[in-house]
Amino acid sequence: MLPGPLDFSDTISSMASAPTSKYNSHSLENESIKRTSRDGVNWDLSEAVPRLPGETRVADKEVIYICPFNGPIKGRVYITNYRLYLRSLETLSSHWHFEADACVFQDSALILDVPLGVISRIEKMGGATSRGENSYGLDITCKDMRNLRFALKQEGHSRRDMFEILTRHAFPLAHSLPIFAFLNEEKFNVDGWLVYNPVEEYRRQGLPNHHWRITFINKCYELCDTYPSLLVVPYRASDEDLRRVATFRSRNRIPVLSWIHPENKTVIVRCSQPLVGMSGKRNKDDEKYLDVIRETNRQISKLTIYDARPNVNAVANKATGGGYESDDAYHNAELFFLDIHNIHVMRESLKKVKDIVYPNVEESHWLSSLESTHWLEHIKLVLTGAIQVADKVSSGKSSVLVHCSDGWDRTAQLTSLAMLMLDSFYRSIEGFEILVQKEWISFGHKFASRIGHGDKNHADADRSPIFLQFIDCVWQMSKQFPTAFEFNEQFLITILDHLYSCRFGTFLYNCESARERQKVTERTVSLWSLINSNKDKFKNPFYTKEINRVLYPVASMRHLELWVNYYIRWNPRIKQQQPNPVEQRYLELLALRDEYIKRLEELQLANSAKLSDPSTSPSSPSQMMPHVQTHF
Amino acid sequence: MEFSELIRTGRAQAELLRGPGAPPLRGTLCVTGHHLLLSPGPQATSDLWLLLLRSVDSIEKRVAGDSGTITLRCKDLRVLQLDIEGVEATLDIARSIEALSSLESVITSFPFFYRPKGLRLGDAWHFHPPEHHYKRVARETNAWRLSEVNEDFSVCPSYPRAVIVPRAVDDDALARSARFRQGGRFPVLSYHHAPSGTVLLRSSQPLTGPQKRRCAEDEELLRAVLAGARPGARGFIVDTRSAQAAKQARMTGGGTEAKAAYPGWKRLHRPMERGRPLQESFVRLVEACGDLEQSMDRWLSRLEGCRWLAHVKEALSTACLAAQGMEREGACILVHGAEGTDSTLLVTSLAQLILDPLSRTMTGFQELVEREWIQAGHPFQLRCAHSAFSHARPKHEAPTFLLFLDCVWQLGRQFPLSLEFGEGLLLALFEHAYASPFGTFLCNSEKERCLCEVRTRTHSLWSGLNQPKEQRKLRNPLYVLNPLAIWPSVEPQSLRLWQGLFLRWTRPPEPSEAAWEKVWQIVTDKEKTEGSQPTVSASEPQP
């Protein structure tokens, strides 16, 4: 809401209504309480502040929260080693008296519940000479599309204290403090760390087989320190070959298998750029290696190489020793550039999105402002690239090799999205977790650098919303195929929230070797534990399991939308004014669906007992693929 | 039959291209009085393809060698291409389609010939008479009566026979008030909001003119409205023109209510685009949506430049204003612009959807369309003579009704559970408003419909739509009654392009239809599993 009604109150001075947005923000905040309490958070009843096991109180302080939607509100802020929690001292109910009958939000204190991990920057605003009301305090920039401002008293050292405490706990790395995930003592009834087991996942894909083998050459990360320990490579390439190829690939990220098509056996292979350099160096081993990959599916076609970068960038990379596969050197390969820009362009683009949505939405020229951020255009290019990869593989014309510069940003986006389009397994909740775990976490997307967990250097040029962009693409796909994904929007938002929160170990560190050194799986909880122990909340009631259906989203600008429920979720105006119990209805439907499926299974069981037909269990792709047992 | 003179050629061999997703059809093309037929060759198994000529919006022909191509742009925004053997045949067929699709006579139009199986003439025409609406009002309040002052359409040619007016005002006073309002559209009741005891009225502009004339009966009528509402109620007149436009209207005999003449009433101006600018916006939008060449990085600014979503926003916020005045302020609302047959109806019908849970049901919504658009005298024949493709300069065309449907779609998107009907019904109404085998949207007013005997000689769309086989397409499987008002967000980022309509023929429709089907399945499976003893045959496996 809603200029209409707002204008109305402007016109009629006697009108008692305050801007209705208060109602909304309020409902939003309450939402977050409900959410955290459902997450099994302990409540400190005396303070009414939620606390996780292992979370300790550090300080509390009376402040004025300068809410961009409701104006200044007096409140008490509680800081723990995990979160900043604000509860307003005034209630908002007075604004809402005329809503009494429809109002379901009885206790109307405004609440902010912000994990310290989302904070990217803390600034002091105003100085000793500041005069204006509420002009002295702290200005906090968050990674999740919002800013927080608190006004503090000028007397005493209240601002200095709060600044120091916040800085200390929001940026523990700079203060030799542990990230909260290492202090978190939450217990869940499932262990998310067990979700991804590479051997099992490759076996599900029917690997190893006659053409592909699993190698432990990188067992101690000696071949490539940013790759996982377990790799799938062509059967015909020896470990010695791999070592020689590694010398010609940026950071030794050699081409390895990401996914194999169950029927036509074409593959998606990922790597980094070849070290061609200005002089146009060649490497026979690399050339031969790519040819071996090409030959693994017995079709006589060229290997398709997708270089995610714009052509000019690929050329420019030669200056720093990189480059791309030339026609001369790789006769049996065809190379296409996908024109996806680098991490810096994406970061600036998202910054522009934030500028037009927070705190106030650019209204008068919303669509052209949105266009000028180019965010959707980048989404379109990423999706278009992934569609091309998926189509090439699915049509069986050829195997595909994907790389960008280092092969951990755009490459991860492309391979994981293409896999999501090709393999319905990844569209289930656990399948998606495996996809993220495999293509992103294990293959060394530099989460620590891109997100800056616990790091105070907010202007670090290494930060970039690459993973967010991937999740956005997934959301766009789920919009276009409402029945194809087992998970709902809440699942994606929860993943993004914990991408920053530092409550779980899942996204910490840059690569598997670092994670292993830090014993992350032993010392922290996995995000998937939280999700998998409460799956219903993240399920899409309309999900229909379909094996072997390839999804081709429409990647035209006409069909892409800004993900309003994520990027503009802090703005109460985008919410309808009134409880819209969609979630509840969806849960009902989910229950109906489960009941139906159960009934169906009973029937099938009864039926198969009669016919003595054993094949009633839901089939997974692995069961549909012929199993080739090769020992390794 | 006279059509035969317009049919230049009997038949020709042709291939039909129906756009992405649909395979081309080959067969014999044939023009009849109302249809274009393509019957596939004997070897083909598919059915006859049929197009109502009335739904052709524009036609373009091209000949090359010994064959020709006809491009038909339809009122439902579909684009069809016919490749025809023979130059003469092409030209003849094109001329026949041109002539037949632009016939203006109502009584020779297809609805007068359409006799579908399973439907009886006269069915459903009695569904939503003014008496019906009055009964509901009378249950809630005693302050209103049903007047038949317009029984012979002489007081107001664009009103129905019976209208609901304040009990305290007699028919003579109504007739005099009608003379003071453009087209005789004196203030009548549109909706009684029982929870707050207030009413929504609509009319046309008062004919104050440059002399600032007044009309005692008109003033008395509005006074009676306030007296009949809850004690102490005030009134707001929502004028859908800018203050300046309203003032200027005095020069041509129109105007707006003078403050002094209507104590208790306050005027608000909410300028809304209508007429030609609205039609142009529609044309530009359809052009943009169909322009596949267009470089996509400019799509959003082009969409913005079409201003269609701005019109959606205007309409919804003005409706919110009216609804909020009633619900939160306990005020009576009178809506009018100039003629009171376009943006006025847009505002009153949307305000009802926001406030009234009954109007969000399947029957309630049909009743709303019937009462607030058809019987209220929205000139469908003039407004929907052409859709977005016509090359002719628009005369009276304006997509007001489409704008209404779009706003309803936005409400449905924001409140996915609160409307009993789905996108399917809105799409059907759009199609039928522009070209239909049913008589419901024919003519411009009840008077004309009466003269043409539409009610007795054509079938009602409502009886067509309410057949059981149509329900799955039209209903919203997620619907649960929501007794509250539904306040939409009208922020620009909350409003979306209605892809299901504007991109209907250019996008692969399959996923959304599959989704719809799936939802139905889940909901109806519930009934199945709740039903009697399960049998194996009932266990349809999940696809």
Q: Nearest 5°: phi and psi at B183?
A: 65, 15
Residues 6+ apart with CB under 8 A from A133: A72, A151
Kindly state the DSSP code that residue B14 receives in the 8-state scheme: E
pLDDT tens readout for residues A232-246: 999 999 999 999 999
Q: What is the pLDDT of residue B509?
A: 53
Q: What is the pLDDT of residue B31?
A: 87
CB A580 within 8 A of CB B479: no
Q: What is the pLDDT of residue A582?
A: 62
A429 pLDDT band, cuts 50/70/90, is very high
Task: Tell me the torsion sign for CA atoms A501, A504, A507, A508.
Answer: positive
A37 pLDDT band, cuts 50/70/90, is very low
Residues 6+ apart with CB under 8 A from B429: B369, B401, B405
- Per the DSSP assignment, residues forming a β-bridge with A96 are none
A94 pLDDT band, cuts 50/70/90, is very low
CB B19 within 8 A of CB B505: yes
CA atoms within 13 A on the CB side of A62: 7
What's the average model confidence in pLDDT over A322-349?
95
In angstroms, the CA A225 to CA B22 distance is: 52
The DSSP secondary structure of B238-263, one letter per residue, reads EESS-HHHHHHGGGGT-----TTTST
The DSSP secondary structure of B190-211, one letter per residue, reads EEEEGGGTEEEEE---B--TTT
* Lowest mean pLDDT, pick from A4-13, A26-35, B103-112, B328-337: A26-35
User: Of A128, A145, A115, which is closest to residue A137 (Cα–Cα)?
Assistant: A128
pLDDT tens readout for residues A408-418: 999 999 999 99
> What are the chain A neighbours of B298 within 8 Å (beta carbons)?
371
pLDDT at A61 over 80: yes
Query: What are the helix and strand counts (H, E) for chain B?
Result: 20, 14
Chain A nearest C-alpha distance from B291 (Å): 11
Q: What is the pLDDT of residue A573?
A: 76
Mean pLDDT of chain A, nearest integer: 84
pLDDT at A632 over 60: no
Percent of chain B with pLDDT over 70: 91
Flag if A376 and B328 touch (Cβ within 8 Å). no
pLDDT at A621 over 70: no
User: Of B198, B149, B199, which is closest to residue B172 (Cα–Cα)?
Assistant: B149
User: Of A476, A456, A244, which is closest to residue A381 (Cα–Cα)?
Assistant: A476
User: Of B289, B287, B294, B222, which is closest to residue B258 (Cα–Cα)?
Assistant: B222
Q: What is the pLDDT of residue A575?
A: 64
Q: What is the pLDDT of residue B55?
A: 92
Q: What is the pLDDT of residue A277?
A: 95
In angstroms, the CA B56 to CA A510 distance is: 61
Q: Within the 187-206 window of chain B, which residues sit less than 8 Å (CB to CB) from chain A? A: none
Percent of chain A with pLDDT over 70: 80
Chain B nearest C-alpha distance from A545 (Å): 7
Q: What is the pLDDT of residue B394?
A: 76
The CA–CA distances, whole Å, from A399 to A293, A395, A438, A511, B370 equal 8, 10, 20, 27, 60
What's the pTM?
0.88
pLDDT at A185 over 80: yes
Flag if A578 and B536 touch (Cβ within 8 Å). no
What's the average model confidence in pLDDT over A134-153?
93
The residues of A annotated as belonging to the active site are 404
Given the cut 0.90, state whether the ipTM is greater than it: no
The closest CB to that of A4, out of B297, B318, B499, belongs to B318
In angstroms, the CA B100 to CA A316 distance is: 63
**B198-202 sheet: strands from edge to edge:** B188-193, B198-202, B332-336, B235-239, B265-269
* Structure tokens belonging to residue A160: 């200095």
Instruction: State how far Cα B104 lies from the chain centre.
Output: 20
In angstroms, the CA B210 to CA B212 distance is: 5
Q: What is the pLDDT of residue A84?
A: 95
User: Of B338, B360, B340, which is closest to residue B416 (Cα–Cα)?
Assistant: B360
User: Of B486, B356, B490, B346, which is closest to residue B335 (Cα–Cα)?
Assistant: B346
pLDDT tens readout for residues A470-527: 999 999 999 999 889 999 999 999 999 999 999 999 999 999 999 999 999 999 999 9
pLDDT at A23 over 50: no
Q: Give the three-state DSSP class for B26.
A: strand
Residue B243 CB neighbours (<10 A):
13
What residue ranges of chain B have pLDDT lower than 70? 1-4, 8-10, 21, 42-46, 124-127, 294-297, 507-512, 514-515, 525-543
Which of A367, A569, A602 is the best residue to mutate to test the B interface, defined by the most B CB atoms within 10 Å of its own CB? A367
Mean pLDDT of chain B, nearest integer: 88
Q: What is the pLDDT of residue B360?
A: 96
Q: What is the pLDDT of residue A581?
A: 55
In angstroms, the CA A266 to CA B386 distance is: 52
User: Of A604, A610, A574, which is closest to residue A24 (Cα–Cα)?
Assistant: A574
pLDDT tens readout for residues A343-354: 999 999 999 999
> What are the chain A neighbours of B320 within 8 Å (beta carbons)?
1-2, 4-5, 8
> What are the chain B neighbours of A363 within 8 Å (beta carbons)?
491-492
In angstroms, the CA A331 to CA A255 distance is: 17
- The binding site of A consists of 342-343, 404-410
Chain B nearest C-alpha distance from A65 (Å): 25
Q: Tokens 């790395």 label which residue?
A: A173
pLDDT at A16 over 70: no
Query: What are the helix and strand counts (H, E) for chain A?
Result: 21, 16
**Please, what is the Cα angle at B32 between B28 and B36, to 5 degrees?**
55
